[in-house]
Amino acid sequence: MTQTSTLPLFSRDRCIVHSDITWQQFALIRAGFANSTNIRLAYYKGTIEIFMPGRDREVFSRLIGFLIGLFCLETGIEFESTGSTTYERNGEVSVQADESYCFGESKPVPDLVIEIIFTSGSSNKLQRYLALGVPEVWFWQDGVFDLYRWRGNHYDKISRSEIPQLATLSIDLLARCVLMGQTSQLEAARAFRQGLKPRSNEVE
């Protein structure tokens, strides 16, 4: 019988970083954590991160994911939420985002990944997603969203999503409701749905 190791969920993230790690060593380390929950692993250019997400991250991540799902449901958009699924390019990069999505249909690389940032490090994360060719990356940090669009060999910062299915999504509305959700997720959902009504009518 296989036992699953469950580590305690801390309020803040915990992260261990090691450099000069080969892809083969990374594969062995990952196999060692195969039965552990609350552990995420990332690898890029010889550096491995062993990451234990805290409660604060999970709360924000789930709330953002819920609101994006609500937007898609309210506006009739087909989507696939792939959460913290592992995406990788063999021998080069492996990542697990806080949230990830495909719109319209399932794809080998998600259309959108979202990362919750409590400290520095967003530029390093962008490089990982650049190696994978992820079309759009959003960072939630200090109460605002920063959006980046893939341009082939770099990311440009943008003010609104360029994913066709999210063209009518107000990033300001989304951010306000995420902040509201810190006090009441029910009220955040109500405010978000109310804010979507004019846009839903426009789509129709």
Residue 12, pLDDT score: 76
In 3D space, the residue among 9, 21, 10 whose CA is nearest the CA of residue 46 turns out to be 21
Task: Output the pTM of the full model.
Answer: 0.86
In 3D space, the residue among 95, 94, 99 whose CA is nearest the CA of residue 82 turns out to be 99
- For the stretch 132-177, pLDDT in tens is 999 999 999 989 999 999 998 999 999 999 999 999 999 999 999 9
Task: Tell me the CA end-to-end span of the chain in Å, nearest whole number.
Answer: 53
Q: Which residues contact 145 (CB under 8 A, 6 or more apart)?
A: 138, 139, 171, 174, 175
Largest CA distance in the chain: 55
Domains of the chain in start order, with CATH, are 54-203 (3.90.1570)
Distance CA 12, CA 68 (A): 24
- For the stretch 38-73, pLDDT in tens is 888 999 999 999 988 888 888 899 999 999 999 999
For 179-197, what is the mean pLDDT? Answer: 94
